[in-house]
Every structure is written in C-alpha cells, then in structure tokens.
Amino acid sequence: MSSIVVFGSGAWGTALASTWARAGLSVALWAYPEDEGAEMARLRAHPRLQGGRLPDSLRVATKLCGDFDSAIWVSAMPTQITPAVWEGLLKKMDARPKAFIHVSKGILQDRHELLSQTLAPVLGLPIGAMSGPTFADEVFLEKPSAIVLALPESIPCEKARRLQALLSTPRFRVYLSRDVAGVELCGALKNVLAIAGGVLEALNLGLNSRAALLTRGLAEMSRLVYRLGGKPETVMGLAGMGDLMLTATGPQSRNRTFGEKIGSGMNTQEAMQSMGGAVVVEGVHTARAAMELARDVGIEMPITQEVIRLLDGGSPHESVDNLMRRELKGEWDSHS
C-alpha cells in the first residue's frame, strides 16, 4: 500500500500530499478547481503554503485518470461539500481503494452526521479519519507534528498498523486509534470552541478566562463525545485536548481569527468577508449541528449555545456574562 491519492488541493490536502511524497511514496493530488490545479502544477507552489515548493515527485492532476487506481484514498475537502463531491466522483470511477481516510473536520449541517457515517454507504467501505493539532503550513515545512489515525474495528490490526507505519514520517508522527466517531467529534467541536477563544482574545479578558474556556470546553466536548459512543482518552488526546489548544490559541487558526473579528464587533457576514469570503470556517457550520446532536441526547453545551447566539448577532459581553452567571454546579456534574 505505497500509493496514495489525496482528493482536495486546499492547504491541508496539499501539505499532506507533499509530506508523503517527500517520504518516497507515490502520491497524486487531485486539484479542484481545474484552473487552480493547473497553476499549482505550473508553479510547483500553493498560494497559502509559503516558504517551500511542492516536491518534484508529487503529481498534481486536474482530471481523473488511471493513476487513481490507488491503494489509499485520502479525502481532504471541506466537510459540507464532501458527500456531494464524492457522489459525483464515484460515478466517473470504477476503482475502489484498499483504504479510505478523510481528514476533514466538522459535522454535516444538513443531516447532523459525521462524514464516516455518510460516506461509508456511499463508498461501500469502512471509513477512517485522521485528526490532531496540525497547522498545514507547519506540516508542509516539515516541522515536527503528531496526529491520530482512527480506523474502524472492521479493519484488521495488521492492516491498521501497516497504514499507520506508511503514513508516518520522521517529522509526521501518526498514532493509532479505533475511536473513529470520537476523533471526528473532537475535530469538529474544537472549531466551535476556537471561535469562542478568539472572542475572548478580542475582548482582552486575560489568561484566566482563556484557561477556563479551554478547560470547560473540554468538559463540554467530553459530554457529547461520551454520549455518542466515543472514548474518554480520545478527548484527552491529540484529537481533543491537543487540537483544541492549538486551534483556540494559534494565530494561523481560521476559527480563532473569525472569533476575534466577532469579538471586535463584526457580524458573521462582515467577519467572513474580511477573511476573503471563500475561506472555510468550519466552526460556523458545526455549531448548530452540534447543538442539535446535544439536544437529541439530552446534554447541555453552554459555550456552543453562546457561539450560536454570537453568530446570530448577539453581544460578546453578554455571552461572557451568560456563561459566568449560570447556576453553580459541581465540576463534573453531567449537566455542568
């Protein structure tokens, strides 16, 4: 299984494809739209990944071809468009991979499902997920990074370990998990919490408030993950605590940046436009879907609720007051 096709030429998909190509694997990157892919192939560069060239061995393709009859497919497209894109792609392709992994982060807004739940019946394959505290630009520049690869139990242990070893490089360490739903939920929910983190930064409320938000955000994340079948260790691992710390505090984070703009007084549309309009802020799409899932299973997610209120035009200062003035509870009460 030394051949990989990465579907999606955003910064994250391109960074992963470049990492594996530099490690000596046979890697093709399906780029869309076609004109952007052609420009990447010509310049051997990505517009959002500065400081390095695409490896010479990385094949950038704008059309489906025989090279895609590959052992491993990695889906790296924005969450909300991924199911529709794959339904279209599969109509044009006869081949199926020996392994399918997605690296998108979010909950589908229209059906309140995880990508693994939606894609498995479409592809007729078990779906894995890879997530963790990894900014694309740092992975692209080969700065040391760690991530978790979650594979369903239906994939035999020997095959799972081979995939783990294959996708690991000296600068990109891959840990193995069997908690696909937990890893997906953590990757989605941390984006919502990162928006809240950006709001706090804009309000200049100090380090105490940041620490409280991150800690209570983990508690909120854990309640939904546990109730939907995820594992406690996933929340405290790379996909949960690790990715939350990075995304809620790192300046490269789109969700944190969006939250800062909301906290500074912009409305949702103004904040999106100021970030270029086409930038995907997954936490905006995920917040309402996560809230619906929480209601379905009977748990409270007060931070997520306030993020939704802010997206609807609420006052950032009022949201802080709402959280601080909630009924006092035990730290680990089920509805705390």
Domains and CATH numbers, the chain: 3-178 (3.40.50.720), 181-324 (1.10.1040.10)
Tell me the average pLDDT across 101-118: 96
- First and final C-alpha spacing in the chain: 46
Separation between Cα atoms, residue 297 and residue 189, nearest integer Å: 16
Contact (Cβ atoms closer than 8 angstroms) between residue 157 and residue 32: no
Tell me the average pLDDT across 113-131: 96
- The single residue of 63, 190, 231, 329 carrying the catalytic annotation is 190
pLDDT at 174 over 90: yes
* pLDDT band at residue 277 using 50, 70 and 90 as cut-offs: low
For residue 1, pLDDT beyond 60: no
Phi, psi of 63 (to 5 degrees): -130, 150
Residue 246: CB atoms within 10 A of its CB come to 20
Nearest in space to 228 (alpha carbons), one of 277, 290, 284: 290
80-108 pLDDT, tens digit per residue, is: 999 999 999 999 888 889 999 999 999 99
pLDDT at 275: 92
Contacts of 328 (CB under 8 A, 6+ apart): none
pLDDT of 220 reads 96
CA-wise closest residue to 241 among 215, 259, 223: 215
Q: How far apart are CA 154 and CA 208, in angstroms?
A: 44
Q: Is 46 exposed, middle or buried (0-12, 13-18, 19+ CB in 10 A)?
A: buried
- At 67 the pLDDT is 66
Among this protein's residues, is 190 annotated catalytic? yes
Query: What are the φ/ψ torsions at residue 172 (nearest 5 degrees)?
Result: -140, 95
Q: What is the pTM of this model?
A: 0.95
Give the dihedral sign, CA 125/130/135/141.
negative
- The whole-number pLDDT of residue 278 equals 66
d(C-alpha 165, C-alpha 291), whole Å: 37
The single residue listed with the structure tokens 């594992």 is 231
